Structure 1
Amino acid sequence: MRKIILNITWLFSSMMIFGGCEKTGNFPGAEVSPYIAIFDLRSFYKDADFALSQKSMLGSTGITGVVVSDHSGKNLPSGLLMVQDKLRLNELRGIAINIGTEAEQYVPGDSVIVNLVGGTMKRVDGLLQVTGLTGSAVTKVASDQPIAINRVPSSYILADPDKYESTEVVIVKGGFDPIPAPTDTYSGDKLVNDGFDNFTLHTEASATFANNPLPGMANFFGVVTYSKNAGGKYTPHLRIRRPEDITVLSSTVTQAAVVVSGFVTDVEGTDLDGEYIQLLATRDIDFSVTPFSLVTCNQTSGYTPTGFPANGWATGGLRTYKFDLKTGTAAKGTYFYVGNSKKLINGQNSTSMAQANWIVSRNYGATGTTGDGFGSPNTNLFINSGTFACGIAVFEGTTVTRTSVPIDVIFIGYNGSVLSSTNPPVGYRITNTDWYDIVNPVSLVEQPFYKQGSNTICLAYGTPSDSGWFYKLGGEYNVRLDRWVKARAQRVVDLSKTSTLDELEKEFPAGDGTTEGLFPTKVVQ
């Protein structure tokens, strides 16, 4: 009986092995798809022309995807059909296919199949494309297919252009540098800053919109291609395809005379009278003439009043605490501080910061030391760890109510009773900054509160807790443009008890020649 069982098992296994091998030598029972993902197709190119055949494409014969090119605006390289897909790892990739004048027959949203056999993949003027094909290689199978909005910070494209070339992207909240004159037009190369970096917007002189006047700020849809710089290197740029690719935004810019540049939420040892906020003046300020106020919020679940902040930043109690800034001065481009009364850099027995510019120095946790207008004495203005939200908002003037809109705001953490979607909503108001937008810049829907719409950016708490993390945000605020040209980011310095003021206000840690040092937030022209 045992021998019979072994023979049956062997026979069944043999049928599985030999039966599977009849279909493919790779995966038993599987067949190779005729369509290769563009992600995989691009990976074949190794800085040398690559001939495309069914064999070289590992059994596939072409691609399928959605068209993103549009030649109606006469601003794309002639003959190129640009197609994108997300078939591999949900990674969006695009490829340009040179089919001559027949590329003009296709518009964004067309779904196509392209037979690539017989073509050659090569770099032409910096752009990876397939050459050697004609229009007969393309079959249109559908129209008006949706193209998901792909908002990409300019710094991401500059860091990895190969990932984005020949795909549709949108540069959001792009403003021109320098500020355009009324006679300036799109024609040529223009620098656009979206708060992350400067990026080139290229427009051919023959484009249908080349002589249109430049807006103050806009969203720019387009495709990523290349141009050669003065050094002979190909660098990425954005090409608008048609006038409809431009969404002009409100020219209203929140001019912030004071911005949050850093803070300490959790000093080593007890936090009682240890926390502080570093701020940066973007113009000369005499606080006795032009007062400001700073409000902190803390969403710790046990703090009162509980529930959603009915009065927003003016909720008071243990939830929000207000400092009035109405004495002292700060010169443009300099830092000043609000917080602990002892003026220590990292809690008890640490270095004194008394030589810094302290506009308000107060033991906010002492009995009877209430905030200016609202806020109960609190040993913790901020949360030390976890995911509950806490934040900092700066206001012009010393009156803060439920409807007051700050001139700058920063949040750490996301959870807690932060936003109620009642009508009207209840929450913490934001302003137009490097992180937040009162109106969604893509959908143009109003979103005046934190956690509403696209206003979800926040810092994470430094770990481990009780380490003396200084959040060194490292942005760049351009006073000529009155806007952020380099967004603030999560950068932390692990302070010691002997740390000095230079660690907060200068490059620290310093670069070593191969890596850039950690710079503080600064004012630029």
Structure 2
Amino acid sequence: MKKIILYSIILLAVPLLWIGCKKSNYPGGVVSPYIPLFDLRSLYKGSDVTLGPDNMFGGNSISVVVISDHSGKNLPSGLLIVQDRRRLNELRGIQIPLGSEANKYVSGDSILINVEGAILKRVDGNLQITNVNPGAIKKVASNVKIVPNAVSSSVIFANPDKYESTLLSIVKGTYNPQLLPTDVISGDKMLNDGFDDIKLHTEASASFAGKIPPVMGNYLAIMMNKVSADGNVVPELRLRTDKDIFTLSSTIEIPAFIISGWIADPKGTDANNEYIQFLATRDINFAVTPFSVVTTNNAGASTPIGNPTNGWATGGLRTYKFNLTSGTVSKGQFFYVGGGNKLINSTGSTSIASSKWIRSFNYSTADGDGFGTKTTNLLANSGNAYGVAAFEGTSVTADSKPIDVLFISSGGSLFSAGPPAVGYRIGNTDLYDVIEPLTQVAQPFYRQGNNTKFFAYHPDASTISDQGYYYKFGGIYSVTLGKWIKARTVTHFLLTKTSQLNEIEGIFPEASATNPDGVPATTLK
């Protein structure tokens, strides 16, 4: 009986052992024939690559959407330009030289292309798939929706390979230098979106070469590389047709002054020691042209509680107003609004009374000009949002639109969609847009739509108060263009009791090995 059992085990084990030793190609999964452009572009390592299943991870084709349109005669002749998001939702594009066949396809066409045997190579600074047989292209759909990919110029320069041969939306573009009212778009123009200048090239033979561009607009364009005379590869934008330009404004709006810094939590008592710094963009006589400044404090103890139904005019401990009705400032001059002590960092610190103060008094013992209850804190230290807004005139209501506004943080009761919508109104600045530039949907309040940007509290705010951090909002505002050509950023640095005025009005912290330019204050250009 034992022998029978032993023989049975051996007979069962033999086929199992044979199966285990046999090489298996389990057909449960099939390799996709389509390789994402994200992966395809990564195959290029500086020399030509002949494409095939061996280096395309088993695939032989791409599934892409056309973004080129040759009807406007502004793209390089014979180039089909396509993009996809097949890998990790990462947008990538590529060029395919097809000669006259490229004209058969328009933006929104979905196509399949067998690229086996084609060659991946760099041509004039751009990655291309060459030697593609037009018969290997199959159109499967038309009018595929292409979601605009809004990208700032500085981001493009930081990673041009990522955006090469993709369709981008440059938002709030103006020209630097500013064009004359009769200048047309033909040629090379420098387009500025508030982050950097990027070249916009329009062929003289383009159907829209004679178009006069708007003062400010959105530009839908394909990013392509151009090899300059010195051999450097430089990104440039190419519009396809005149429909790629969307007018945002035909006039230039320049605020009389802009917010450039403040101290919200000086070292020592806050009462009568907080102040806001502004930079004048023109000569101002406040007795002739009055303005006002309003602060908002949304700390949990600030009343009235809830969303601010009267916006910046809410009053109480939520908003506090300073009327600017006397004094003068010159273009490019810093001036101050705030506590009457006029000290750089609270009690016992350097006096800055000799600088330009337009409105100052003890807000801890006096109510605001028109609204605002006396308070020891104009600006919050709790982690909830606080902000500053500047207005033309001295009458501020729930409907008043600021000429400039900045917020720190996002906590607290700030906005309700309603109806009716209530909150703190914003203006068109480097951070905010009253109308969303891409969708043209109205969004006049902070925290509405994409108006969610804010600057952070200083790094110790969540654990330690009373440190004397100054908030320096460095940026570059072009009075000629009427816009920020370098959007504001914030640098927090500790003031001491012996700090001097040049620290908040000049380059400070000073240049170092890690920051060779130092930290300049907001400047005009």
TM normalised by structure 1 equals: 0.91
> Which position in structure 1 is the counterpart of 2:315?
316
Q: Distance in 2 between matches of 1:166 and 1:389?
A: 41
Q: 1:305: Cα distance to partner? A: 0.9
**Secondary structure at the residue paired with 2:155?**
helix
Q: Note if 1:371 corresponds to 2:368.
A: yes
Report the CA distance between 1:88 and its aligned residue: 2.2
Cα distance, 1:383–1:12 mapped onto 2, change above 3 Å: farther
Is 1:511–2:511 an aligned residue pair? yes
Match of 1:49 in 2: 48
Q: One-letter code of the match for 2:25?
A: E
Note closer, same or farther for the CA distance 1:271–1:32 as it changes in structure 2 (3 Å cut): farther
Q: 1:198, CA displacement in angstroms? A: 1.4
2:120 alignment counterpart: 121
Residue 384 of structure 2 is aligned to residue 383 of structure 1? no
3-state SS of 1:265 partner: strand
Partners in 2 of 1:18 and 1:274 — Cα distance? 83
Write out per-residue CA displacement over residues 21-49 of structure 1, whole angstroms, 9 at most, x where no aligned residue: 5249xxxx654322222112212222222
Q: Which amino acid aligns with 1:384?
A: N
1:338 aligns with 337
Which residue identity lines up with residue 426 of structure 2 in the other structure?
Answer: I
1:127-154 per-residue CA deviation (whole Å, 9 max, x = no partner) reads: 1111121212322222221111111111
| Structure 1 residues 19-168: aligned runs within 5 Å | 21-23=24-26, 30-168=29-167
Rounded Cα–Cα distance in structure 2 between residues aligned with 1:432 and 1:52: 49
* Aligned residue type for 2:511: G
CA shift digits 1:407-447 (9 cap, x unpaired) = 11111122322122223321111111112122221112222
Q: Where does structure 1 lack aligned partners over 5 or more consecutive residues?
A: none
- Kindly indicate whether residue 480 of structure 2 is the aligned counterpart of residue 480 of structure 1: yes
**CA displacement at 1:347 relative to structure 2:** 3.1
1:87 CA displacement? 2.2
The 5-angstrom pairing of residues 198-209 of structure 1 reads 198-209=197-208
Alignment-mate amino acid for residue 22 of structure 1: N
Query: Which structure 2 segments of 5+ residues have no match?
Result: 1-5
1:442 aligned counterpart, secondary structure? coil
Partner in structure 2 of residue 190 of structure 1: 189
Matched, 1:406 2:402: yes
Task: Name the counterpart of 1:307.
Answer: 306
d(CA) in 2 for partners of 1:397, 1:103: 58
User: Is 1:416 equivalent to 2:412 in the alignment?
Assistant: yes
Match of 2:438 in 1: 442
Deviation, 1:341, is 2.5
SS at match of 1:72: helix
| Residue 19 of structure 1, CA deviation | 8.0
CA distance in 2, matches of 1:297, 1:61: 60
Establish whether residue 396 from structure 1 lines up as the match of residue 392 from structure 2. Answer: yes
Residues 1:411 and 1:31: Cα distance change in structure 2 (over 3 Å): same
Distance between the aligned counterparts of 2:477 and 2:442, measured in 1? 25
Q: Supply the distance in 2 between the matched residues of 1:43 and 1:352 (Cα, whole angstroms).
A: 59
Correspondence 1:234-383 to 2 at 5 A: 234-366=233-365, 369-383=366-380
Q: 1:246 to 1:361 in 2, by over 3 A?
A: same
* Aligned 8 A contact 1:254 1:433 in 2: no
CA change 1:132–1:382 in 2 (3 A) is: same
Q: State the AA in 1 paired with 2:115.
A: L
Residue 370 of structure 1: CA displacement?
Answer: 0.6
Distance 1:316 1:123, change over 3 A: same
Inter-CA distance 52–469: structure 2 relative to 1 (3 Å threshold): farther
C-alpha separation in 2, matches of 1:335 and 1:41: 53
Counterparts in 2 of 1:334 and 1:55: CA distance versus 1, 3 Å: same
Displacement of 1:464 in angstroms is 1.2
Deviates more, 1:392-401 or 1:465-474: 465-474
One-letter identity of the residue aligned with 2:260 = S
The one-letter amino acid of 1:498's match is: T
CA contact (8 A) 1:385 1:461 kept: no
Do the aligned partners of 2:215 and 2:251 also contact (CA within 8 Å) in 1?
no
Contact conserved, 2:390 with 2:404, CA < 8 A, in 1? Answer: yes
What residue identity is the alignment partner of 1:522?
T
Distance verdict in 2 for CA 1:138–1:471, change over 3 Å: farther
Query: What TM-score do you get using the length of structure 2 for normalisation?
Result: 0.91
